[in-house]
Structure 1
């Protein structure tokens, strides 16, 4: 068994590092307020419901343009969309690599803007969309002229998406949708919202949910408020859907099979979240070790204190194990015909990596002491961002439940033997 990364991938990582030094670091240096202790304040338009400041989003857009011009941004997309067709395994390695470099314009945490784009929804439209949807949305989603938000969660339903209360009723060659959506991320700058609604079946059925691509200016679709969060700015909206009327052609994929689309989106995102969490955890561990070697107390370095050594050894060991798990999960996802076939591995990688980064950030704060608690250091920002990963894309309890379902034969490949 060979654990070495293929030369093409290591060459790409080197290409990323060179691009960051040449193009991104100078751009970042011109706007220090977004990356030092002022970052949360500078990035947020507090008078506009706490949404991202336009100047901050303009800077992110410039970073993306530079990365796209350099041929890096579309790495995960297929060649026909200008990409290199990177696998989930390759993307996991890249996401870990970028996050392990720490905070910066190259890989921002708040809205996951990166020099290597994470565009699972563009891939979904590419795979499941009609030709009209592809022509209208995909290139714009990549370049930023189109923004597509994801309306799955509801005020009373999150991980239990099959129990959603939003309904769509057929009316001739149109559908009329009614319901409420919560944590409708990205709506503040979206041109379209993908609204999931039950079109048939009963509560709890996986079949019978349909995804509709709804233009944001459609009558009845309204952003009612934004929820301020642990990590600001926010782009997490509450949206009302009142008698929203869309043509049958607005359906993304097949009628009643929208949950499959959601699963494709969630599985890829869960792996990439896990890889980012792993990279950020390793960054926190490495910085804490560096601090312990440099900081002297009572006449000797902190690194000689067993109380400092052992927690970091535990975290470092956990990071090595999680790295193997994340890469195996991505590898299996690349080979699966149906992503639900490998939910067990994806869920294990997701919940363990997301828990790890929170523990690593907390330990780094402790090792740095009062300085770690301050916003002079990035650890509080890393913790605040990654803490949400233990809830979003399926809470860690849901991930553990999925693993248990396979382990005990209630679902997945072992069900027939239960």
Structure 2
């Protein structure tokens, strides 16, 4: 059994480091762009008088960094080769995400809005796996060219983790002799609506509440009549691009969906499984950053005339965190590798529990590591002059989004006790 990373991946990490040093760090240092990452970061990023949305200059900087990364061949690393990418594996993406997050805050990788020089775009794989030939011909080129940006509308004001109980409905309706659908409902946390051209709206089209079947994924133009942003939801970590959106009597042509009618939930599962394993790797990287910064500070700080690191009260909590990080790294990489060994659609039924283990534990670990880093650093750790409060505030949401940790544990239990997954036959 060989735990060594493939040499080509090790070489690629070094290539990314050289690119960051040559292209991204100079851009980060120019024109006081460091204000987006130092103690001024939350204010610099947030247009407080415009619903708390991201400031245009902040998003323009991110766009320029992505352009440079794309020109260098990094941004689309994970995209399938037929879509202009390098076909990066789940294992490679997990290693890269950890590597970049472990560098701390910076223009190379800012997880508050999923910005990275190696892009995380789960829509691409989802579209490839579920879109029909007709849907690919209609939307594929626009999606790949960045001309079609889709927000994700699954959660609702009254339904979060219980997505199969959603109240959003779509019924067939003909208009002017054309077959179509009439859509009504509300969605929460439809991130990116301020720049989206379309919204993926999951709506019940058949079946009863709680049924997995009977949900369809509609592709709704963001400017369609009846689509309205009701409010921008301010969060623990600002700026916000997360609105509550209503869909009132929105009429859509018959073919305004991805995948199949009544089988849209699979698209949502595809999205979250890709996101969960990559999110876990990023949380691990951020946790490692907090641990390592705490170790360095404890060695340098000398209260009462001796290094802070001499005290076991400082050592032992960091030992616990470092041990968890080592174990978690192995689980994440093994799970990502296993994902690469099976059909993309099989992950939900065969490996979903391991993905959930990685996700909920990593998101919990990074919060603990950030909190410990604040404690080790004392007053300066609590201040915004250190990045730990930002890391905590950002990663705290991951314990809720993409499935709350209770939902993740519930999934693990379902597989463990054979209510679903590979062991179901064993307990039948």
- TM-score tier (shorter): over 0.9
1:37 corresponding residue in structure 2: 39
Q: Secondary structure at the match of 1:183?
A: coil
2:100 corresponding residue in structure 1: 98
Residue of 167, 177, 182 corresponding to 2:183 = 177
Does residue 1:53 correspond to 2:43, yes or no?
no
Tell me how far apart the structure 1 counterparts of residues 318 and 210 of structure 2 sit (CA, whole Å): 43
- Conservation of the 8 A alpha-carbon contact between 1:125 and 1:133: no
1:400 corresponding residue in structure 2: 409
Change beyond 3 A, Cα 1:106–1:139: farther
Pairwise CA distance, 1:122: 2.1
1:200 corresponding residue in structure 2: 206
Tell me how far apart the structure 2 counterparts of residues 299 and 136 of structure 1 sit (CA, whole Å): 70
Does residue 1:339 correspond to 2:341, yes or no?
no
Does residue 1:387 correspond to 2:396, yes or no?
yes
- Conservation of the 8 A alpha-carbon contact between 1:92 and 1:326: yes
Pairwise CA distance, 1:141: 4.5
- More divergent stretch after superposition (243-252 vs 193-202): 243-252
What are the residue-to-residue correspondences of 1:180-329 with 2, within 5 Å?
180-329=186-335
Tell me how far apart the structure 2 counterparts of residues 91 and 275 of structure 1 sit (CA, whole Å): 8
- Conservation of the 8 A alpha-carbon contact between 1:73 and 1:115: yes
Pairwise CA distance, 1:134: 3.6
Pairwise CA distance, 1:145: 3.5
1:10 corresponding residue in structure 2: 10
Pairwise CA distance, 1:139: 5.2
- Conservation of the 8 A alpha-carbon contact between 1:166 and 1:196: yes
1:109 corresponding residue in structure 2: 111
For structure 2, the 5+ residue unaligned runs are: none
For structure 1, the 5+ residue unaligned runs are: none
Tell me how far apart the structure 1 counterparts of residues 237 and 371 of structure 2 sit (CA, whole Å): 16
- Conservation of the 8 A alpha-carbon contact between 2:83 and 2:144: no
Q: Secondary structure at the match of 1:245?
A: strand
Tell me how far apart the structure 1 counterparts of residues 385 and 333 of structure 2 sit (CA, whole Å): 33
What value does the CA root-mean-square deviation take over the aligned residues? Answer: 1.2
Pairwise CA distance, 1:408: 1.2
Pairwise CA distance, 1:277: 0.1
- Conservation of the 8 A alpha-carbon contact between 2:76 and 2:84: yes
Q: Secondary structure at the match of 1:214?
A: strand
Change beyond 3 A, Cα 1:140–1:366: farther
1:66 corresponding residue in structure 2: 68
Residue of 345, 348, 358 corresponding to 2:367 = 358
Tell me how far apart the structure 1 counterparts of residues 145 and 369 of structure 2 sit (CA, whole Å): 35
Count of aligned positions: 418
Pairwise CA distance, 1:132: 5.7
Tell me how far apart the structure 1 counterparts of residues 284 and 318 of structure 2 sit (CA, whole Å): 15
